[in-house]
Amino acid sequence: MIIDAHAHVLPDGYPEDAPSCFPSMESVAGSTDRTLAFGEMRFRAKDVFFAAERRLEAQDASGVDREVVSPMPPLLKYDLPPADGLALAQHVNHFTAELCGHDPDRLTGLGMVPLQDPDAATGELAAIKEAGLAGVEIASNILGDSIGHERFLGFFQEAERLGLSVFVHAMPSHMNRLPTSAMGTYVVGVEGMFAAGSMVLGGTAAACPDLRISFSHAAGGFAMMLPRANYFWGGAWNEGPVDLDRAVMHDDGPSPLEIARRFYYDSMVFDHRALRYLIDLLGADRLLVGSDFPAMLREDPVAKTLRDMDLPAEQWEDISSRNALRWLGEG
C-alpha cells in the first residue's frame, strides 16, 4: 500500500458574490484546464486538481492507493483581511470535503485556516473536524512570523486536543539575500528549516508532545542542522552523552534530536543519498511518501527512488503507508 501524503487540490470555482480579493478560476479555451488567478499570480491548473474521477485515474496510473490532499499553497494567503481569509478557508474546506467524499477510502482531505487571525483559525478547527477532514495545512510562516511564535501556541494546542493532523508546507517568501529564481529551490529549504526549528526553539513542540505534525520536503535544511543544534544542547559529538562543559545551550528538556523525531517529514528530497541520511538520522518511522502532485509530476511509478533503495521490508512498509496512518491518527 502506498499513501501519497503530499498532494494538492484547487476548487473549480468561487462564489459569484465572493469578495474581490478572492481568487478566480478562469476557463481555458479548448481545454478542461482552468487558470487560477490570485492577485498577480496566474497558474494553469489541469482538471485533476479539482475533478475526483480524474484524481483516482491518476492514482491508478502511478501506483498510488490513497492520497492526502491539501489546498494548493498559494491559497494560504495570510495578507487577506481576516474575515475574507476565513470565508476563503471555509469555501476551500467545503470543496475539499466534497471531493474526498467521492471516495473516502482513497482521498483524505486537509483543510486551511486564516492564521493571520490566530483566534479565528483556532475556532475553525472544530468545523474542520466536523466536516470529516483529517487535519489542516499551514504555511511555514505567517506574514513573516515563524509558526513557533507564542501567538500560535493556542492553535497548535487545539489541534492536538482535537486529534487533528498538521501539515506545514514550506512557503517561499521573497528575501534580499537570494534572487527570485531561488524561491522554489533554496528558499523552500530555508523556509522548511525555519518552520521546524521554530517549533523546537519556541517551545511549541515541548508544550504539545502529542501533536501530529509533518513538514513538506523533509523540512528543507533542518536535518543537516540538527547535529549542530544537538551539540550546542548537549556538548557531544555523534549524539553521545551530555557534556555540560561543552554545551552552550543546554536545558532540562528533550534534546533537539529527540524532539525532531516526534515530527513527520515527507520524503520528496529527490535523491536516494538524502533519503538515506534522513533514515539514518531521524528514522524510517518518521518519513512519508510525498509527491506535490499535481503541481509537480510524480515519479513513475510513485516513490521510485524509495523502491530502488532496496530497503528492508519493515522500513519500506513504514514509509510507504504505516507512518502516514500514524500521522493521520489511524495507526
- pLDDT tens sequence for the chain (331 residues): 999 999 999 999 999 889 988 999 999 999 999 999 998 889 999 999 999 999 999 999 999 999 999 999 999 999 999 999 999 999 999 999 999 999 999 999 999 999 999 999 999 999 999 999 999 999 999 999 999 999 999 999 999 999 999 999 999 887 788 888 888 898 889 999 999 999 999 999 999 999 999 999 999 999 999 999 999 999 999 999 999 999 999 988 899 999 999 999 999 999 999 999 999 999 999 999 999 999 999 999 999 999 999 999 999 999 999 999 999 999 8
Q: Which three cell numbers stand for residue 220?
A: 528543507
Predicted local confidence at residue 177, as pLDDT: 87
Predicted local confidence at residue 178, as pLDDT: 86
pTM, 2 dp: 0.96
Q: What CA–CA distance (Å, rounded) separates 263 from 282?
A: 9
Predicted local confidence at residue 252, as pLDDT: 87
What is the phi/psi pair of residue 24, to 5°? -135, 160
Nearest to 46 by CA among 304, 297, 302, 299: 297
Predicted local confidence at residue 40, as pLDDT: 84
Strands 135-139 and 141-142: unpaired
Q: Which three cell numbers stand for residue 65?
A: 492507493
Q: Where are the alpha helices (DSSP H) in the chain?
A: 52-62, 82-101, 118-130, 153-162, 186-201, 204-207, 222-234, 256-260, 272-282, 304-307, 313-317, 323-327
DSSP state of 298: P
C-alpha angle 271-10-86 in degrees, rounded to nearest 5: 115
Nearest to 70 by CA among 103, 124, 111: 111
